[in-house]
Structure 1
Amino acid sequence: MQLPLPLTRDLVLIGGGHAHALVLRRWGMKPLPGARLTLINPGPSAPYTGMLPGHIAGHYDREALEIDLVRLARFAGARLILGEAEGIDLARRRVRVKGRGEIAYDVTSIDIGIASDPPRLKGFAEHGIAAKPLGAYAERWAEFRKAVADGRVPPEIAVIGAGVGGVELALAMAHALRDFAPRLTLIEARAALPHIGAGARRALMARLSAAGITLIEGVAPVEVTAQAVRLADGREIPSRLTVGVAGARPHGWLAETGLKLVDGFIEIGPDLRTSDPRVFAAGDCAHMSHAPRPKAGVYAVRQAPVLAHNLAEALTGGARFRRYRPQRDYLKLVSLGEKAALADKFGLRLEGRLLWRWKDRIDRRFMEKFHDLPRMSPPPPPRRAAQGVVEALAGGQPMCAGCGAKVGGATLAQMLASLPRPPRADIAAGAGDDAAVLQFASCRQVITTDQLRAFTEDYGLFARIAAVHALGDVWAMGARPQAALANVVLPPMSPSLQARTLGEIMGAAAEVMEAAGAAIVGGHTGLGAELSLGFTVTGLAETPVGKGGAQPGDALILTKPIGTGTILAAEMALEAKGEWVAAALASMARPQGAAAAILAPVARAMTDVTGFGLAGHLLEICAASGTGAEIALSRLPLLPGAEALAARGIRSTLWAANRAATEGRVEAPVNARAALLFDPQTAGGLLAAVPAGEADRILTALLNAGYDAAQVGRVTDQGNRLVIK
């Protein structure tokens, strides 16, 4: 078998700014063989700030101005690490990520924009909201608009900071609340609109006046309360929503990198390299010493082609770096609240609705680059192949990873039935239990093994999830994790990348195992076509909890929401929102040790919900216990986006086999919510049958421990039958 080309160099992009987003898009259409691309960003999306005023005014929905970095990274074949960079070790070539350790690089680029520095005012942290990051501001604004519309709060707003951004947001909020006679005040400690032409400034001042917005210049705010902003001259400005737009600054951690800075910003030359030739920078975090310009997104966008070329040149050892030559001035298009805009360039000013349509077209065309990613055609099927090959490829869906890559339950059951029963008396495994049980004189030891194909390029996160997944069988039997062996298969890569990757994987897995009380005591490594990771885990238990003790009337409790298989399948097809994927990954990475400790003392039967889906694993309890079960769909906890994706017909590749394996034993409606009962879960929750009288107490304990647990149904006397209501 011919393996893929080996990976030999690491390119790490720090930040999901406009330049890096465009580099990712270019990379997806023409990747550099042998280079592994990593993006580090705090969240799963990045806002296009040019459309923010339009969103606040009500002209765009939230999705219109979000660059989905999860989807973009999948398109680019890049790994996305959801974390905040907090430092760079130039000598060791490492990026420090908060809560994630270090990520190694051979070449790196920084595009993190300007830090949001909310006003350092007494009370602002408690009562104010910064305009950046977008997420918190947008949510607070939506809540405030609804409260005003419902008559619960007066429409009183204060905006601190009267630069172009502050003026745009003030006009946008005034427009959105125009039917409620808003009282809006714009506060600037210095002079308003300092970086715009005189004609444009006069026009914007007139717009503020026409919108009924009061401008206060030359007076600093000193305190923010729940109902007002106090000024240095003693005045109190009524405000039920105080927005901070002032205070943009360079990120503080850049000062500790050793890179050459100018006023806190990274100095770059014409080729976008910094004082360290292996480090590039772009966007607002960078200072172009050869051609100083004001901070504006237009420069980041136009730096992207040069940056993409020069990063590839650095990775290949070339020396033909391109120069970036910024234009002398750029067209400023300022939103005016309503669907009108003002244009300013070279001191010339125009305004009107036609300019809004022009701005809208420019903004939408830019965002279409990320919303409508090019469809990359798969290679054609072979012209001559064995029977069945073309038919197997006809579906077009790539095989899912995680538990979606498992062998179907019917095939597995057929194989297991052919195995001889354990000949040893010290092997006391119950029929179909999650782990084998070994009998010793003083205790019992459980042993289990699991292996997963990688479903995310963030190998550290994948290792955490794989470790939680492997521990699931031990926790499901009420055992205390003891020891683990790792089995790692790496894709082809150079020895240096092997060491980096193994370090990420084993470091993350060791944290999970140690937190669970287990130790990784060894393992095995190998090279293959793709990354896969598994663990053999042992645990100790005085009385293991099996699947065969459920009784009619018992309550069924589930400790995690379901939907991971559907979300991962959608993510592979570029159909899932990044925030849905991020939520699913976070759920999968959540250990179940504390939940097992709550459930095990009272559970009559317990299992973990993984590859065969909730229906399949519940039927295993029913078969072992001689009972049936009922599930209430309305009580079923679902991951964000799972039901919407299932309604669109998106299924994991194992879904059909899971559904077929339960044929004749499940009575269920035909709808999206019911379809998720057959969705294969990776690192899913525990499913326990507990006495009905204990259910409320146990559920309360699980919720207090932070689990998204729910009582999803009950055990019935209808043998080996599952009814979905």
Structure 2
Amino acid sequence: MHTPPLPLTRDLVLIGGGHTHALLLRKWGMNPLPGARVTVINPGPTAPYSGMLPGFVAGHYKRQELDIDLVKLARFAGARVILGSVEGIDTTQREVLVPGRPPVAFDVASVNVGITSDMPSMPGFAEHAVPAKPLGPFAARWAAHLEGSDPTSVIVIGGGVAGVELVMAMAHALKAKGRAAQVTLIDNGPALTATKPKAAATIRRAMSDLGIDVIEQIAITRIAQDHVELEDGRQIPAAFVTGAAGARAYDWVAATRLDLHDGYVRVNEYLQSSDPAIFAAGDCAHLTENPRPKAGVYAVREAPILFDNLRAALGAGKMRRYVPQKDYLKLISLGGKSALAERLGTSLSGPLMWNWKNHIDQKFMNKFRDLPKMRPAALPREHAAGLQEALGDKPMCGGCGAKVGRSALQSALRTLPAPMRADVTALPGDDAALLKTGNARQVITSDHLRSFTTDPALMTRIAAVHALGDIWAMGAAPQAATATIILPRMSAELQHRTMTEIMKTANEVIREAGAEIVGGHSSLGDEMTIGFTLTGLCEDDPITLAGGHAGDVLLLTKPLGSGVLMAAEMAGQADGASVATAFRQMIQPQHAAARSLRGAHAMTDVTGFGLAGHLQGMCEASSCGATLDLEAVPVMNGALELSRQGVRSTIYNDNRAIAPDLPSGGRADLLFDPQTAGGLLAAVDANEADALLRELNQAGYPAAIIGHLTNKPGLRLQN
């Protein structure tokens, strides 16, 4: 007997992708709690590992080596990932507030957002300095500064362990490049108070060997464009200023109404805040029972305790107490591949300590680089012939990758009789039909997508832009929409939350396009599916597939590759940054592009049948052929590499059969990649093409001229 998926009943929301939450997600993936829907919210698709930051600044590691890929990790954990910066928690409504999307409701939440080293109260800091945390902006600014060749001056504010590691790494990097530099560490108190005298002396010698000036026990009055001014009147030259002092909690935490200690969330021995449904861990938390300094070792050791306690708060198991260790091993980078190790007053330094530190850091990161392979459920011992082949060897794609092949759809449609009503015109090859009501001309279309992301708001935005593509491609103005929603099995409360996210997002996108949602239908099923039926009004004759002429130039408004990227993401093969970029391109609406292309001779949106399939449809309807400039076809970040690795969407083979004469391999394979919310493909007058391309690019579309229509039937590539 078929066993349906277990319904979802509780929402767990993880705010931030810090070390504790990263380890928790890995553990959750190996032992999920049935009935719990997990969400992780983070500003970007990756979370940096702070332990390797000095090594990156010094040049020992590449930028990507520091990153924990939260998109891959969330897929492994069965969690949805929301990319956005949290701006608050409504503890009354039990909602997390993220700009640009509906609030995210929770039953249990956990905060692991780290701290910031921004110093807004220091005059000139915001204008002329860059905080060392968060890492992303700092890394970009430092990399750009390091590329210069002129003599420079660098100042690091803060004489704690983080500050001295950073200043030695920067001095080493500049020295390795042979670049003359004045490097200065400034602290308004004594430096290195967190280490014992012997270790502090070793670190000071290392700074001296790197030529670093240390200025202590004096305050900074202001930061100017080219110098830092001290309270004694001295002006220290500064072309690059960063701050590793003044670590503080994010401002939004103060508005949560949770009990705080100097801005940090106060937690008990169970890592619970004053609100028992909200937990906190890592640097953003203050351990009320056993206060400890801000150090990554505590965040790492909190992970298994937090894992058990969140499950208990969701209804499974018992709470465990977290008892932090009294002392911990400090491993401090000394600029080059040398480090100092200190614990219980004993310290050692040298290359061997750096090798040890590197081993520990790489071992930690390997937990996320090499996620365990979870075995799929075994087939029943007895089953019908062909079941294994039908399942295939990879997950079924979502979006347009899950569509039925073009040949199957067309052969089924050909069996239908022609419309008998005079006011209904089916347009061969087009996804929309033309309706006449009095003097008004409407187009009508319907589309729906099997979800490839578990974030309902993001999936709704993609599905709405995707469905609107048929209206825009006909040169029509969107008018009205109905929504068709299938939700996975879940409790009534989660149904309400999810439908609220979906409909608020749908209304925003549809209304922005100039239309209104007038109704819909919903049901429960095995997985989430979102679709829309839309009408549009035509002031002029609709743009169809049939108006192309030999000599017309082909314009494409969006890059290819969403099918490959989503297939790879579902299999845990795509990097999170590429997936995030693909999402941004998919949700880009095309009403401005459609206005620019309203004079096109023929137009379609590139979706499930890939560029080749949709272009073939245009050529057949227009009785012409086409030549493509393969190198001019824009592709999404990461798509070409994945395609070369053999990653394919479910519908790829069906699409490949549409144009068998085109070559295979490399970039050519992306011509058959099914696109979700893909670009508009327009055949335009050759004399207008360059001006239209400039107009599209100025409007923010990564559009390109990719070929032209010809008299000779069929598709071919330009020599």
TM-score bin (small chain): over 0.9
2:22 matches 1:25: no
Q: 1:471 aligns with which of 460, 468, 471?
A: 468
Q: How far did residue 634 of structure 1 move?
A: 2.1
Contact 2:116 2:131 in 1 (8 A): no
| Residue correspondence of structure 1 range 654-673 to structure 2 within 5 A | 654-664=651-661, 666=662, 668=663, 670-673=664-667
SS at match of 1:496: helix
Q: How far did residue 225 of structure 1 move?
A: 4.4
Q: What amino acid is aligned across from residue 146 of structure 1 in structure 2?
A: E
Q: State the partner residue of 2:601.
A: 604
Q: State the partner residue of 2:310.
A: 311
Q: What amino acid is aligned across from residue 220 of structure 1 in structure 2?
A: A
Please, what is the CA RMSD of the aligned residues? 1.6
2:67 matches 1:83: no
Q: 1:420 aligns with which of 417, 420, 426?
A: 417
Contact 1:118 1:245 in 2 (8 A): no
SS at match of 2:425: coil
Contact 2:465 2:589 in 1 (8 A): yes
Q: 1:448 aligns with which of 445, 454, 470?
A: 445
Q: State the partner residue of 2:133.
A: 132
2:689 matches 1:690: no
2:353 matches 1:355: yes
Q: How far did residue 120 of structure 1 move?
A: 4.5
Q: How far did residue 248 of structure 1 move?
A: 1.5
How far apart are the structure 1 equivalents of 2:708 and 2:119?
51
Q: How far did residue 226 of structure 1 move?
A: 4.5
Q: 1:383 to 1:259 in 2, by over 3 A?
A: same
Q: How far did residue 721 of structure 1 move?
A: 2.6
SS at match of 1:67: strand
Q: What amino acid is aligned across from residue 113 of structure 1 in structure 2?
A: G
Q: State the partner residue of 1:164.
A: 161
| Residue correspondence of structure 1 range 545-556 to structure 2 within 5 A | 545-556=543-554
2:513 matches 1:516: yes
2:261 matches 1:265: no
Q: State the partner residue of 2:713.
A: 719
| Deviation string, structure 1 residues 504-548 (Cα, Å, up to 9, x no partner) | 111111100010111111111111110101000000002211111
Q: How far did residue 645 of structure 1 move?
A: 1.0
SS at match of 1:566: helix
Q: 1:594 aligns with which of 580, 592, 595?
A: 592
Q: 2:534 aligns with which of 510, 533, 537?
A: 537
Contact 1:3 1:528 in 2 (8 A): no
The alignment of Structure 1 onto Structure 2 pairs a total of residues equal to 715
How far apart are the structure 2 equivalents of 1:224 and 1:261?
31
How far apart are the structure 2 equivalents of 1:161 and 1:413?
68
Q: How far did residue 214 of structure 1 move?
A: 1.2
SS at match of 1:374: coil
How far apart are the structure 1 equivalents of 2:594 and 2:121?
45
What are the ranges of 5 or more consecutive residues in structure 1 without an aligned counterpart? Answer: none
Q: State the partner residue of 1:239.
A: 238
Contact 1:460 1:508 in 2 (8 A): yes
Contact 1:46 1:67 in 2 (8 A): yes
TM-score, normalised by the number of residues in structure 1: 0.96
Q: 2:564 aligns with which of 558, 563, 566?
A: 566
Q: 1:386 aligns with which of 371, 384, 387?
A: 384
| Deviation string, structure 1 residues 698-720 (Cα, Å, up to 9, x no partner) | 11111111111111111222223
How far apart are the structure 1 equivalents of 2:428 and 2:543?
12
How far apart are the structure 1 equivalents of 2:625 and 2:127?
52
How far apart are the structure 2 equivalents of 1:504 and 1:156?
50
Contact 1:155 1:177 in 2 (8 A): no
What are the ranges of 5 or more consecutive residues in structure 2 without an aligned counterpart? Answer: none
Contact 2:116 2:134 in 1 (8 A): no
| Deviation string, structure 1 residues 645-666 (Cα, Å, up to 9, x no partner) | 11111111111110112223x3
Q: What amino acid is aligned across from residue 136 of structure 2 in structure 1?
A: G
How far apart are the structure 1 equivalents of 2:559 and 2:92?
44
Q: 1:678 to 1:713 in 2, by over 3 A?
A: same
Q: Percent identity?
A: 56
Q: How far did residue 623 of structure 1 move?
A: 0.9
Q: State the partner residue of 1:579.
A: 577
Moved more, 219-228 or 585-594: 219-228
Q: State the partner residue of 1:62.
A: 63
Q: 1:676 aligns with which of 670, 677, 683?
A: 670
Q: How far did residue 391 of structure 1 move?
A: 2.9
SS at match of 1:481: strand
How far apart are the structure 2 equivalents of 1:635 and 1:441?
45
Q: How far did residue 118 of structure 1 move?
A: 4.0
How far apart are the structure 2 equivalents of 1:190 and 1:85?
33
2:486 matches 1:489: yes
Q: How far did residue 193 of structure 1 move?
A: 2.0
Q: What amino acid is aligned across from residue 288 of structure 2 in structure 1?
A: S
Q: State the partner residue of 1:527.
A: 524
Q: How far did residue 183 of structure 1 move?
A: 2.3
Moved more, 55-64 or 371-380: 55-64
How far apart are the structure 1 equivalents of 2:309 and 2:373?
26
Q: 1:218 to 1:43 in 2, by over 3 A?
A: same
Contact 2:463 2:530 in 1 (8 A): yes
Q: State the partner residue of 1:651.
A: 648
Moved more, 642-651 or 154-163: 154-163
Q: State the partner residue of 2:283.
A: 284
Q: What amino acid is aligned across from residue 710 of structure 1 in structure 2?
A: A
How far apart are the structure 1 equivalents of 2:122 and 2:183?
19
TM-score, normalised by the number of residues in structure 2: 0.97
Q: State the partner residue of 1:706.
A: 700
Q: How far did residue 353 of structure 1 move?
A: 1.3
SS at match of 1:422: coil
| Deviation string, structure 1 residues 175-225 (Cα, Å, up to 9, x no partner) | 222233432122223322232222221111111111011112233334444
Q: How far did residue 489 of structure 1 move?
A: 0.5
| Deviation string, structure 1 residues 423-480 (Cα, Å, up to 9, x no partner) | 1111123211231111233221000000101100111110011111111100110111
Q: What amino acid is aligned across from residue 650 of structure 2 in structure 1?
A: T
How far apart are the structure 2 equivalents of 1:162 and 1:706?
45
Q: How far did residue 123 of structure 1 move?
A: 4.4
Q: State the partner residue of 1:371.
A: 369
Q: 1:75 to 1:317 in 2, by over 3 A?
A: closer
Contact 1:472 1:683 in 2 (8 A): yes
SS at match of 1:536: strand
Q: State the partner residue of 2:636.
A: 639
SS at match of 1:180: coil
